[in-house]
Amino acid sequence: MQWNIAQAKQRFSEVVKQAAVEPQLIYNRSTPVAAVIAAEDLADYQHWKAEKAQPTSVADEFAKLRQILREEGIEDGLDIPPRVDRPNAFMQMLETDHPELLKTGQ
């Protein structure tokens, strides 16, 4: 429900009771200025905010993706077929200019 500041002050106990059901928005001249929410929703919000505040690295994100793959039963990763739609310019250069590197595995 939406309340203006004067209503929220006059009926504060009702605002608090209704916050247990859904967030109660408080407006000042058609602009939202505050919200009264249940304590458990506040705890969830604070937990979410703390997680968002921690910087994550690319390695952390890949670790999360690997965990999701494990949970989905794809433990070895995704099957990615070899690319065959265009030539590999680097390999062509090696074959032409340095064939000895390909033979010795250097």
The series of mean pLDDT values per 10 residues for the chain, 106 residues long, is: 93 95 95 95 93 85 88 76 81 89 68
CA quadruple 30, 8, 42, 68: dihedral sign: negative
The model's pTM: 0.49
- DSSP letter at 85? S
Q: What integer pLDDT is reported at residue 20 of this predicted model? A: 94
Question: Is there a contact between 1 and 14 (Cβ–Cβ < 8 Å)?
Answer: no
DSSP per residue over 29-79, as a string? TTEEEEEE--HHHHHHHHHHHHHHHS---HHHHHHHHHHHHHHTT-TT---
Query: What domains does the chain contain, in order, with CATH numbers?
Result: 2-37 (3.40.1620.10)
Q: What integer pLDDT is reported at residue 78 of this predicted model? A: 67
Residues 14 and 75: their CA atoms lie apart, in Å, by: 52
Q: What integer pLDDT is reported at residue 77 of this predicted model? A: 64
